[in-house]
């Protein structure tokens, strides 16, 4: 979902540059922590990751949208721009 949302073609880029560092820093947890290549492996936010997301969302709303710098971020999400 992250890969599709960010329009990144390379799965290995997501793994190496985003997912592994987020796991190492405790922002993301694995459903099967002892088996990283499990066929049904899923990832979810830790409590630490959820707190970071809340901070980012509140900051985006205060600073404005990173796409246009004028509207609140939520407006783009609602309009799917």
- Of 17-26, 54-63, 70-79, minimum mean pLDDT range: 70-79
Q: Are residues 3 and 28 in the same domain?
A: yes
Secondary structure (DSSP) of 12-78: HHIIIIIIHHHHHTTSEEESSTT-TT-TT--EEE-HHHHHHHHHHHHHHHHH--TTTSSS-HHHHHH
Q: Are residues 12 and 39 in the same domain?
A: yes
Determine the structural domain holding residue 65 and report its residue range.
49-81
pLDDT tens column, 50-71? 998 888 777 766 566 666 655 6
More confident residue, 25 or 66: 25
Q: Are residues 35 and 6 in the same domain?
A: yes
pLDDT at 81: 42
CB 7 within 8 A of CB 13: no
Q: Are residues 12 and 40 in the same domain?
A: yes
- The token duo for 12 is 């290995």
User: How far is the C-alpha of 8 from the C-alpha of 23, rounded, in Å?
Assistant: 19
Report the predicted TM-score, pTM, of the whole model to 2 decimal places: 0.64
How does the average pLDDT of the chain come out, rounded? 79
pLDDT at 50: 92
């Amino acid at each position: 979902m992250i890969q599709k949302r960010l329009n990144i073609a390379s799965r290995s880029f997501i793994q190496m540059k985003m997912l592994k560092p987020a796991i190492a820093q405790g922002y993301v947890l694995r459903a099967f922590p002892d088996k990283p290549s499990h066929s049904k492996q899923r990832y979810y936010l830790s409590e630490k990751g959820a707190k970071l997301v809340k901070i980012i969302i509140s900051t985006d709303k205060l600073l404005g949208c990173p796409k246009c710098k004028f509207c609140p971020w939520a407006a783009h999400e609602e309009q799917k721009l």
